[in-house]
Amino acid sequence: MRGPHNIWRLIRTGATFERTGAMGVALDAVEAPPRLRLAARVLGWPFRWLGYKGDPNLPPITRAITALGPAYIKFGQILSTRADVVGTELADQLRMLQDRLPPFPTDEAKATVATDLRQPVESLFSEFSEPVAAASIAQVHRARVRDSGREVAVKVLRPGIGAAFRRDIDAFHFAAGIIEFLSPGSRRLRPRDVVSHFESVVMGELDLRLEAAAASEFAGNTREDASFGVAEPHWGLSSRRVLTSNWVEGLPLGDRAALVAAGHDVSHIASRVIQLFLQHALRDGFFHADMHHGNLKVAPNGDIVAYDFGIMGEIDEYTRRIYAEILMGFIRRDYRRVARVHFEAGYVPRDRDEAAFARALRAVGEPIFGADATRISMANLLAYLFEVTERFGMRTRTELILLQRTMVVVEGVARSVDPQLNIWDAAKPVVSDYIKSNVGPKALAGDMASIAQTLGRYGPLLPRIVEQALWDRAHPDDAGPRVAETKSSVPVWLITALSLAAGAAIGLGLG
């Protein structure tokens, strides 16, 4: 849909950004060229009076975005993880966005629950409170399950939120097209891809069954983690628009005074927050990508409990190994190794000078290690690292940026609990354990076993592939009667080697 509403929505957006003073900040952050600045002013300045006023107590960008509504708030939150697009300073401002939207009536929430779960609320829950939290997409009610008496949190989507988001996303696509047309140079920031990424994230959040699945997987991965708990979902009381999960009882992680008064060891809690994040990212490759104060509590027994799994991060095993080796190289101050890892992974082009890159990395690491504990920051190191790698031609890797932005949030949470926390001391045991288990002889043996299993699965096909390759080699102009598809371009020596390897693997398995 590309109707007139898109033009009207863009005018209203430009007017709001002008009225709140956010227009200049946003244009400067993305280094907008003159033509794009002119178009933005044309859409905003003459219609300034149509813009929303917003909360004057907020900074311009957050003031404009919160005034424009849920889709813009969520878009701002997701852009806060894309410092490569909006710059570090604006990303930090967007990260402070708070979903301070008014709740919708409890009767509407009950109607949604009854419709989706196909039973009256009273037959499912003996208690169902007024909203205890309201966000851009949903709100939460505290309830008690009638059958078990267990306290739960019931998350309910806002009525009509799906259609509202789709309308705004359509306008975002329209705006991205205009930006790329007016400013071809902006294509390096991939506006269309950014909007598509936002659309995929939001569409996932609008189906609470997917959040329940993420919570369930995360709980399974972390079940043996000491001093950590997850608000697990109740599948029988959940649906596309309703998510019921365990009620999390405890103190907010951001309330340091209350934690101290309750007798909790704040130093241990702060270290544990860092370690848990790194364990989940490195060990599992699946981590909570929204670990701010509002999504973490400290239970009476001292456990850290996480909830709200709408935004999760995922990185593959190879990337995890690279990330761990980079961190370990910095911890050991082995800058040559860090540089070599970047080149071996293909992150930095081979035609660059590895020694010069190592010296640039030293310039990043040494000032941080020379600081006292209160100034040592892994998040800052990663931010500086991305600046250096960009100068040496490294292409943007979205998964690493999300990891880095989450690290910034996690480190901020840990510092608020214990300002004297030494980030490196907290991180070192986790990274060291991962390196021992996943880099070296033990990891090589595991990799070889995986290769053998893969070759074993495809073993029955290899004779046919070898025969086809030999036929192609002997009859280059004739595919032959046995070929139904295209000719094989795989070297015969490689296929023969794979066949022998498969035979050995199968033999070892039988042995």
Flag whether 198 is in a domain: no
pLDDT tens digit string along 340-356?
A: 888 888 878 888 888 99
* pLDDT attached to residue 188: 52
Flag whether 202 is in a domain: no
Is pLDDT above 60 for 497?
Answer: no
Flag whether 201 is in a domain: no
Percent of the chain scoring above 70 in pLDDT: 69
- Same-domain pairing of 226 and 334: no
Q: What's the CATH code of the domain at 238? A: 3.30.200.20
- Same-domain pairing of 474 and 390: no
Flag whether 338 is in a domain: yes
Please report, for the chain, how many H helices and E strands are present, in that order.
23, 10
- Same-domain pairing of 253 and 232: no
Strand 304-306 and strand 228-230: the pairing is parallel
Over residues 229-254, mean pLDDT = 93
- Same-domain pairing of 220 and 296: no
Higher pLDDT, 327 or 320: 320
Over residues 360-367, mean pLDDT = 81
* pLDDT attached to residue 511: 45
Is pLDDT above 80 for 255?
Answer: yes
The DSSP element (H or E) to which 245 belongs, if any, is: strand 242-246
Over residues 143-163, mean pLDDT = 92
Higher pLDDT, 193 or 206: 206
The residue from 84, 290, 308, 472 that is catalytic is 290
Parent domain of 478: 447-510
Flag whether 200 is in a domain: no
Flag whether 370 is in a domain: yes
* pLDDT attached to residue 43: 62
- Same-domain pairing of 143 and 167: no
DSSP alpha helix (H) spans, 1-54: 4-20, 22-29, 34-44
Over residues 287-294, mean pLDDT = 84
Least confident of 28-42, 209-223, 485-499: 485-499
Answer for the pair 121, 106: CB distance below 8 angstroms, yes or no.
no
Q: What torsion, rounded to 10 degrees, do the Cα atoms 473, 479, 482, 487 define?
A: 70
Is pLDDT above 50 for 449?
Answer: yes
Answer for the pair 275, 252: CB distance below 8 angstroms, yes or no.
no
* pLDDT attached to residue 23: 76
Is pLDDT above 90 for 263?
Answer: yes
**439, 459, 479 — which closes off a domain?**
439
Over residues 74-103, mean pLDDT = 67
For the beta carbon of residue 448, count every other beta carbon within 10 angstroms.
12
Q: What is the DSSP letter of 280?
A: I
The one-letter amino acid code at 393 reads: G
Higher pLDDT, 193 or 484: 193
Flag whether 145 is in a domain: yes
Residue 433 annotated as catalytic: no
Over residues 83-107, mean pLDDT = 71
Say how many domains are in the chain.
4
Flag whether 176 is in a domain: yes
- Same-domain pairing of 360 and 285: yes
Is pLDDT above 50 for 193?
Answer: yes
* pLDDT attached to residue 2: 54
Over residues 296-323, mean pLDDT = 88
* pLDDT attached to residue 508: 47
pLDDT tens digit string along 387-421?
A: 777 677 766 566 666 677 677 778 878 888 888 88
Is pLDDT above 80 for 361?
Answer: yes
Q: What is the DSSP letter of 240?
A: S
- Same-domain pairing of 390 and 428: yes
- Same-domain pairing of 239 and 327: no
Least confident of 8-12, 121-125, 355-359: 8-12
Look at the pTM and tell me if it is higher than 0.85: no
Over residues 422-437, mean pLDDT = 81
* pLDDT attached to residue 503: 54
pLDDT tens digit string along 464-495?
A: 776 777 777 667 666 555 544 444 454 555 55
**247, 275, 309 — which closes off a domain?**
247
- Same-domain pairing of 288 and 420: yes
Least confident of 22-31, 165-174, 418-427: 22-31
Q: Cα-flanking dihedrals φ and ψ of residue 152, to 5°?
A: -140, 165
**393, 420, 439 — which closes off a domain?**
439
Confidence of residue 236 (pLDDT cuts 50, 70, 90): very high
- Same-domain pairing of 422 and 454: no
* pLDDT attached to residue 351: 84
* pLDDT attached to residue 59: 81
pLDDT, averaged across the chain: 78
* pLDDT attached to residue 221: 95
- Give 342's Cβ-side CA count (13 Å radius): 33
* pLDDT attached to residue 96: 66
Higher pLDDT, 282 or 99: 282
- Same-domain pairing of 291 and 398: yes
- Same-domain pairing of 285 and 318: yes
Answer for the pair 319, 400: CB distance below 8 angstroms, yes or no.
yes
